[in-house]
Amino acid sequence: MQKGYKLSTALIMFDLKVFFVAMQSAKPVKLNDKQIYRWMETLLKRAKQVGQEGEVPVTAIILDEKGHCIGHGRNKRNKDGDPLGHAELIALRQAAWLKNDWRFNECTLIVTLEPCQMCAGALIQARMGKVVYGAEDLKRGGLGGSIDLSSLKSAHHKMIVKGGILQEEVKKEIENWFSQKRRSKKLMI
C-alpha cells in the first residue's frame, strides 16, 4: 500500500517536473524573414477581401511554438456590430479555445496593422510571446505608433514586438480603403 502511494507520488512529481520544464522552454517560434514576409503577404491578400466586404482591411493569425497556425481573425466590427470584433481578438479567442488556455507565452501573433490600444492591452493580458505587425498606426497604435502599452509600468508581461513588415503595401491598402469610403460617402450626400 505504502509502496503504491510512494510510486504514485513520484509519478506526479515527475509529471509536474516535465510540465514546468516544458513551460519554461516553450518559446515563440523562430521565423526567418522569408517566412515572416510570406505570412504577411497571405494576410494582406485576405485583408483586401475583408476590405471589399466593407470592413477596415485587417487580418491576423496566431502561431504556436512550432509555427503552426492555431487561430486566425479578420476585422468583423461592422458585420457583427461588435466593438470587440477586431482581427486580433477574434484570433485570440479561437486559439485560446484550441489551446484550452489563456496564456500565450510561446505564441506569435502576426497582424497587418499595428494593434490598437484595446488589442495591445488584450495581448499583454494574454501574455503573448511575440507580436509582428505590418504598418504602424500613428493615430491608434498601442505598441508604439501612438502609445506603447508594452513598455508601461502596468505591462507586467514583456512582449517581443517587431513592426514594419510590408509596411508600405499594408499602408497603401488601408489608405485606399479609407479614401474610397470617403468618396462613396460624398456620393451619397
> What crossing angle do the helices spanning 117-125 and 87-99 adopt, rounded to 10°?
20
Per CB under 5 A, the list member of 116, 123, 131, 143 interacting with Zn ion is: 116
- Of 17-25, 31-39, 48-56, 79-87, the segment contacting Zn ion by CB under 5 A is 79-87
Per CB under 5 A, the list member of 50, 60, 109, 119 interacting with Zn ion is: 119
Considering the rule CB under 5 A, would residue 109 count as an interface residue with Zn ion?
Answer: no
Catalytic sites, residue numbers = 88
In the bound state with Zn ion, the residue whose beta carbon lies nearer, of 116 and 161, is 116
Contact 86, 59 (CB under 8 A): no
In the bound state with Zn ion, the residue whose beta carbon lies nearer, of 44 and 91, is 91
Buried b (16+ CB within 10 A) or exposed e, 137-161: beebbbbbbbeebbeeeeeeeebeb
Considering the rule CB under 5 A, would residue 40 count as an interface residue with Zn ion?
Answer: no
Considering the rule CB under 5 A, would residue 74 count as an interface residue with Zn ion?
Answer: no
| C-alpha distance from residue 48 to each of 4, 43, 58, 158 (Å) | 62, 9, 8, 32
Considering the rule CB under 5 A, would residue 72 count as an interface residue with Zn ion?
Answer: no
Q: In the bound complex, what is the minimum distance in angstroms from residue 80's beta carbon to Zn ion?
A: 14
The residues facing 161 across adjacent strands are 131
Per CB under 5 A, the list member of 86, 90, 128, 144 interacting with Zn ion is: 86
Residue type for position 48: K
In the bound state with Zn ion, the residue whose beta carbon lies nearer, of 35 and 94, is 94
In the bound state with Zn ion, the residue whose beta carbon lies nearer, of 4 and 83, is 83
60 backbone dihedrals φ, ψ, rounded to 5°: -150, 155
Considering the rule CB under 5 A, would residue 58 count as an interface residue with Zn ion?
Answer: no
In the bound state with Zn ion, the residue whose beta carbon lies nearer, of 113 and 165, is 113
User: Please, is 39 exposed, middle or buried when counting C-beta atoms within 10 Å of its C-beta (0-12, 13-18, 19+)?
Assistant: buried
Contact 136, 167 (CB under 8 A): yes
Q: Enumerate binding residues for Zn ion (CB under 5 A).
A: 86, 116, 118-119
